[in-house]
Amino acid sequence: MAEAMVIDGKAFADALRARLAEHAAAFAHQAGRRPGLAVVLVGDDPASQVYVGAKGKACEAAGMASFEHRLPADTSEAALLSLVERLNHDPEVDGILVQMPLPAGLDEQAVIAAISPDKDVDGFHVINAGRLAVGQKGFVPCTPLGCMMLLKDRLGDLSGLDAVVIGRSNIVGKPMAQLLNDANATVTIAHSRTKNLADVVRRADIVVAAVGRPEMVRGDWIKPGATVIDVGINRLPPAEGKEKGRLVGDVAFAEASAVAGAITPVPGGVGPMTIAVLLRNTLVAAYAHAGMTAPAGL
C-alpha cells in the first residue's frame, strides 16, 4: 500500500487566514471598525506567553484589532472577573479569550462562565456547549472545528463513516464527537477505560487522537486507508547531546503512515488550525454584534 497522504494543516490554515483577512477588511469598511479580540493573560507561564503573542500577531496580520491584557500572577479572582465584565460590555471587543491555565487559586470554570456566550470565541462556555449538543448555532472550540475542516476538505461527505475519537475532554474529545455525529458519521468516544482499545480503533474510517500520550496509537491499530487526525503534541525527553526532545503526536506517525490513507503530521497538522479558527470565530462574532450577515462559508 502507498504511503499515506500527509494533510498539510499549515497550508490549509494559511489559506483560511488569507480569506479571513479579506472578510475582515470588508467588515471594517462596512462597520467602521475592525473585528476585535481581547486576550487576557494572568501570570507569566512561558508557554502561555508564547501563545498569547502568536494570537496577537495573527490578529493584526488578518486585519483584526488585538487587545491584550496582561495581569500579574497574584491578581484576585474578583479583579479578573471585573475585567471580563468590562470586556463583555466593550463595543470594540467581539471575542474574549482568557488564556489557560490560570494561576493556582483562580477558578477557571467561574472565569469561563463570566464570559458572555456571544463573545466566547473559545467555545468553552456551558451555553455554547449546550448549543452544540442540541444543534443550535454557537461557538465551537477551535481545535475540533479545525479538525472538522481538515476532514471535510479531505473526505467531503462524512455520512456513514465509522469514526473513533480517543479522548473525552470538554475542549476536544466531546465537541469533536458531537461535530462528527452532526456530520452523520457513526461515532465512538474511546478513552483510558475502553476495553480492547486497539480493536475499537481498527474498525474506524476516521481516527481522531486527542489523549495526550506520545505515540500511543500504533500503526497496527489503523484500518488500511483510514484518515487519522492527530491532535496531540508531546515533547519527548531529549536525546543524548540535545537540548530539547522532538515533538510527537499521540499517533506513531511513521507506523501509521504506512497504513493510513491520510494523516496529519505533528507539528504542522492540527496546531496551525487552532489560531486560524479562533480568528474565524472572532469574525463571525463581529458580524453578529454589528447586526450584519456573515459571508457564506465562514
This model's pTM is above 0.75: yes
- Catalytically annotated residues: 55, 99, 122
Please tell me if the domain spanning 32-116 has the same topology as the one spanning 142-271.
Answer: yes
Reported as a single tens digit per residue, the pLDDT across 140-179 is: 999 999 999 999 999 999 999 999 999 999 999 999 999 9
- Are the C-beta atoms of residues 207 and 229 closer than 8 Å to each other? yes
For the chain, the structural domain boundaries read 32-116, 142-271
In CATH, what is the architecture of 32-116?
3-Layer(aba) Sandwich (3.40)
Reported as a single tens digit per residue, the pLDDT across 216-264 is: 999 999 999 999 999 999 988 887 777 788 899 999 999 999 999 999 9
CA-to-CA dists, residue 108 to 41, 105, 111, 113, angstroms: 13, 9, 5, 9
- Left if phi > 0, otherwise alpha if psi is -120 to 50, otherwise beta: which for 83? alpha
Measure the CA–CA gap between 198 and 90, rounded to whole angstroms: 49
CA-to-CA dists, residue 216 to 166, 210, 212, angstroms: 10, 10, 9
* CATH no. of 142-271: 3.40.50.720
**For every one of its 298 residues, what pLDDT tens digit does the chain have, with 9 covering 90 and above?**
578 999 999 999 999 999 999 999 999 999 999 999 999 999 998 888 988 999 999 999 999 999 999 999 999 999 999 999 999 999 999 999 999 999 999 999 999 999 999 999 999 999 999 999 999 999 999 999 999 999 999 999 999 999 999 999 999 999 999 999 999 999 999 998 999 999 999 999 999 999 999 999 999 999 999 999 999 999 888 877 777 888 999 999 999 999 999 999 999 999 999 999 999 999 999 999 999 999 988 8
